[in-house]
Structures are given as C-alpha cells and as structure tokens.
Structure 1
Amino acid sequence: MRAPLMNRYSMKFSALVGVAATVAVLVSGCGTDPDEDTVVAPAGTVAFDLSPAQSGRVHTAKVDAIAAEVPRSIRDRGTLVVTGASGTAPPLRFYATDDKTVVGSEIDFATLIADILGLKLEATVADWTQNFVRVDSGEVDAFISNVTVTEERKEKYDFATYRTDNVALEIPKDSTLDYRDRKSLAGKRIGVGTGTNQEQLLVKWNEQNAADKLPAIDIAYFDKTSDYYLALASHRLDGYIGPNPTAIYHAATADQTKIVATFSGAGEALQGEIGVLTKKDNGLIGAVHKAIDHAIRSGTYQQVIDRWGLKTETVTSSRINPPGLPKKS
C-alpha cells in the first residue's frame, strides 16, 4: 500500500515541529569515549549511534526458502555486494566517527536483507552516478542509497521498495521565504543533488513557472551535502531540496536552517518510493522483495525505522517496480 499523498505540495513548518522535536539533538565531539559516538534526542526519543562498531545494529536470521531464490553465483560467493553514495547524509548513509566506516539506516536495511538471504554484507561507496555504472557492469549486486523509483530507471533496473520518498525544502533559519507552492521559488537560487529526482522535480517546476511567465528557478547542483550546508549557512542559496530525513537531522543538529515544506519526491500526482536497485532481470530482485516483506512482518524492519527516526518514511509492504517518477519531458 502506498502512503497517502501530501496535501498539494507542501506541509508548513508548524506541522513539522513535532517531527523535528523527535530528532532534535545535542552533538558531542568525536573521540574515543563511547558517549561521544552517540547523538541523543530529548527524553531519549532517538539515540543516533555514530560509532563504527554499531553494536545496536538490527540483525535477523536467515530464511532458507527466500535465500534459495538468490542467483547461484551470489549464493556461492556468500556475499551481497552493495554500493551507495559516499557517506555524507545522516541518518541515511554517512561516515561514522572514525571517518571511514559507512553507517546509517541504508546500511541497516542492506544488513537485514543480507541476513535473510544468508549472505554477508559488503558495503561499498561511490559517487552517485558511478553507482549506476557499477550495477551495469556487475561489479556490485545492488544499489541501496535512497534511490527513488523512476520510470526512466525502470527501463534498465529493477526495484524492490522499502521506504516512501519524501523530500524537504530547507532554508536558512533567518530566511523570510514564504513557501506556498512552486511559484514561491521563482527567481530563487535552490540547490539539489546532481542526478537526483529532486533535480527533475525542480526542472519540471521551472517549465511550469515559465508557462506562467514567472522568473526561472536558479538551480544549483551539489555532489556533497557538506557543500550545500555551507552554501545555506552563508546565504549563497535561498533553499535546498533534499531527502526529508536528512533535512530534519541537519536542521536539528546544526541549528542554522529550518524546513518550510515537504512533498513527495515524485511530485503532486504520485507518492514517490525508495527502492533497492538491481540490474534488470538478473534474478535477484524477487528474493530481495521477499526479504523486505519478511522483515516488515517480523518487526525487524520497524526496529531499523525506529533506530534512525524514520517513522514518516515507512511502508506496509514492498513492491516490485511500482509506478515511478515520470520521465523527463
């Protein structure tokens, strides 16, 4: 079942205060003290484990019937090789306090899938666009890194969904930008990640604004979240559109920005979904899909959701290749 659509595009910031409060944090410096590897929310609502050890990571048992559906070449190897964007986007995928171990919710979801399939997870990193190349070449088995289902991607890849895709408009804390709809961004400089569905969303809005004879949105492209954080803090951007969980985490921890709207990453007509991406028809997606559904039914999926404060991103079941973000015009 898909989550209900957002009302129009936006949800005003006042409606997000409760969500942000659940992840408001006190950030400790990095170090060897275990307490310095944890970011704690008020009243213990959420405790983000930033340590490389990840002692609280959720694990589960192998399910033989599902594991038997994994292609023999992967079963014989004994590992599930997963790629993802370089780790700079907490709580989804980011570097731990040792600055080299990639952790986060996307690693935890990949771990659950690997456990159920009876495989050892091998998590790797690459630049966003390079991840698709690695899947194409067979260097990796899956791309698990907040990847949105799109109609264009479905032509080359298979998806098994595990989260909804909601994005947020994050602006400087002292900004007076009054977001109502896409027209509010006309003439503004808005950042997005290179090659993301957020970029496609802004391009579509620019086309619609042009039809309404409004100034264009000045789209600024970023490969690293740390770069757009600096641009927002220095007011070189009027706003940034990125994954909702990352925006909530950043707004709460840095105390330099605020969220003024959230919307489906697929636009107003469709609730976007995040999925595990594999090479099309390579025989793996069916097993991955069943592994996700098993995790949902067993409760281990919810444990990962709760561990990383993703309660607004849950799905009740996995879907293979559902309707995705429309193709570019």
Structure 2
Amino acid sequence: MSLARRRRRTGALIALTVLSLLTGACGKGDGGASETRAVNGITYDLSPEQSTRIHADKVDSIAAQVPAAIRQRGTLVVSGSVGATPPLGFYATDDRTVIGSEVDIAWLVADILGLKVDHRTADFAQNFVKVDSGGVDAIVSNITVTEERKEKYDFATYRLDNVSLEVPKDSDWTYTDRKSLAGKRIGVTSGTNQEQLLVKWNDQNVADGLPKLDLAYYQQNNDYYLALASHRIDGYVGPNPSAQYHVAAVGQSKVIATWSGAGDALRAEIAVLTKKDNGLIGPVQQALQYAIDHGTYQKVLDHWGLGGEAVKQSRIDPPGLPKRG
C-alpha cells in the first residue's frame, strides 16, 4: 500500500472511529461503516454518493461570464486539503471520495456556473502550487484572505474565519490572552493564518520577556489529535469548525479560546482562491452572492453545522490579515 493510501486510510479510520461514538446510525456502506451519524443535532451524511448534498440551478447570466476555456471544458477544477475530522474536508465511507462543507461550497458555485466539480486533493502548501501551475482553477479549502496572498491571488469570501485553541479535557490551563501561551507547546499547521497569528503573539511575548512558545508541526490533522490525546502538546490551534466537531464527537478534549483568524486585527474571512486576474473570481463571487441571496448557501452551512459562520455578503479581495513583520 502506498504512503498516500496508508495516510488516507488512517485518516478515514480515525474519522469513522470518532463517528462510531455518536448516536443515530441510519445505514451501512459496502465496508460496513455507518453512513449517517448525528452530533449536536446535526445529521452527517458520510456516504460517497452524497445524495443529501444541496444543489442549485444554473444561472445563465452568471455562467456566461466564466472564462471560455473553463466553460468549454465543462468542469471547475478545485483543489482542497483533506483532514481526519469533519466537517470541512474528509473521506467518505469508501475511503476514496472527499466530502465535507468545502466540497459542497465548490459544488454550489459550480452548479450556478453550469459546471461539474473535478476535485483534486493536496496538502495545504501544494494547493497553492497547483493554482500557480494552472493545474487547478481554484482552491476551496478553508483559505483565509491575507494581504500577502492578495499579491498573487484573488478571493471571493464565503465564511467567517474562526480558529480555536483545543486542549486535553483534563487540562487545568486557563487561557486569558496571548501571554497565556508563553512556554507552551502548541500544534499548528505550517503556512496557515493560525501559524502566522501564533508567531506574531510569540514575538510579542518574547519582547515582553516571557518564555518562548514551542510550535509543533505534524503531517496530518489526525497526527495533531493523537499528539493532543497523548499530551505531547499542550494544545492545538486550528479551524473552529473541526475543533468543535472533534470535541463534541470524541469527548477527550475541550476548546478554551476562540478568536478571529486575524486575532484582534480584523474580522478574518474564508474565501475561494483563484490565480490573480484570470477572469474567474468575478463569476465565482456572483455565484456565491446569488446562493446567499436565494438561501441555498445557508442550507449548505446548516447542513454541516456551520450556520453560525455565515456571511451576509461575498466580497472580492477584502482587507486581509496583515503581512508578517
């Protein structure tokens, strides 16, 4: 079995182990894994078929604005990262099909543009490489708008960016402010706005004469959760949707702080990312706004328990996280 296949299976097994702790099984897949589970009043469809996915009709006036090469191809090629924990992006019960809220947002946009989704998987950094090379049209993968990224890419926002500090359930650590992080070992994914925020706070702490923050990096989301469970890290800073789901499903950790992905600087937002000035971001933004105005957008977020992170307006290239330094 290839390394990628082993990682995929490990992630899927951990996700399904999480889900096996929940109530509300409604069906079985070919592998015997339950294909529908409920947590916090939300029923999650884990099947590869995704028959419960929210769809929208094509809007000709918006679809006509899609660059000709993409219209003629008939597909929107989207890159995204896959973790072990719902609801953002994870593997279905067949251990092959990528499902989750980010996939459904991609499909919603593609529906309105009259396209099908061709979903490609990559780790976080490789998503950007794929866009740079022209291998994909867009990234839909919990990407935060930043001023640095805006120099190379365009954005159309579709969700608030909230991040959480998750710690072991038996931890007696009380978070007050950035100074509470001094001397702690914290897991974070490289290249994310979470890392940028922690690096900034660490610099401020060191300038104040406090102990240095120890950042821990792993390959996969499930590695962070294993490190958290074994107390090899004091906490993990990651997307709030995944943290809240993991806490509710497993019951071995807790969230002790939640922030905007920009900290106190501004209200950070998650967005679809495309190569700059390639003509695609305009119709993507219009498709998102159409979905917002007509209710299908809210249905997608509610479907994955993310209704509280909805935006009222999709914006192109809004103010993003400031550049480092």
Q: TM-score, normalised by structure 2?
A: 0.90
> What is the alpha-carbon distance in structure 2 between the residues aligned to residue 260 and residue 69 of structure 1?
45
Find the residue that maps to 2:34 and give its secondary structure: helix
Task: Report the identity percentage.
Answer: 64
After TM superposition, the structure 1 stretch with the greater mean CA deviation from structure 2, 263-272 or 26-35, is 26-35
> What is the alpha-carbon distance in structure 1 between the residues aligned to residue 266 and residue 113 of structure 2?
31
CA 1:116/1:281 → structure 2, altered by over 3 Å: closer, same or farther?
Answer: same
Where does 1:40-79 land on structure 2 (aligned, <5 Å)?
40-41=38-39, 45-79=41-75
Where does 1:106-185 land on structure 2 (aligned, <5 Å)?
106-185=102-181
- Aligned partner of 1:109: which letter? I
- Aligned partner of 2:204: which letter? Q
Tell me if the contact between 1:87 and 1:125 (Cα under 8 Å) persists in the aligned partners.
no
Find the residue that maps to 1:210 and give its secondary structure: helix
- Aligned partner of 1:146: which letter? N
Tell me if the contact between 1:25 and 1:252 (Cα under 8 Å) persists in the aligned partners.
no
- Aligned partner of 2:57: which letter? A
Task: For structure 1, list consecutive stretches of 5 or more residues without a partner in the other structure.
Answer: 1-23
Equivalent residue number for residue 195 of structure 1? 191
Aligned-pair distance for 1:182? 0.7
- Aligned partner of 2:37: which letter? V
> What is the alpha-carbon distance in structure 2 between the residues aligned to residue 47 and residue 176 of structure 1?
32
State the structure with bigger RCO (CA 8 A, min sep 6), 1 or 2: 1
Tell me if the contact between 2:30 and 2:94 (Cα under 8 Å) persists in the aligned partners.
no
Aligned-pair distance for 1:72? 0.3
Superposed CA offset, 1:282-303 (max 9, x none): 0000000000000001100011
Equivalent residue number for residue 233 of structure 1? 229
Match of 2:323 among 304, 320, 327: 327
> What is the alpha-carbon distance in structure 1 between the residues aligned to residue 152 and residue 86 of structure 2?
28
- Aligned partner of 2:87: which letter? P
Find the residue that maps to 1:198 and give its secondary structure: helix
CA RMSD of aligned residues (A): 1.7
Match of 1:38 among 36, 39, 60: 36
> What is the alpha-carbon distance in structure 2 between the residues aligned to residue 165 and residue 30 of structure 1?
34
Match of 1:273 among 238, 259, 269: 269
Aligned-pair distance for 1:168? 0.3
| Deviant stretches of 4+, over 4 Å | 27-31
Equivalent residue number for residue 26 of structure 1? 23
Equivalent residue number for residue 313 of structure 1? 309
Tell me if the contact between 1:27 and 1:253 (Cα under 8 Å) persists in the aligned partners.
no
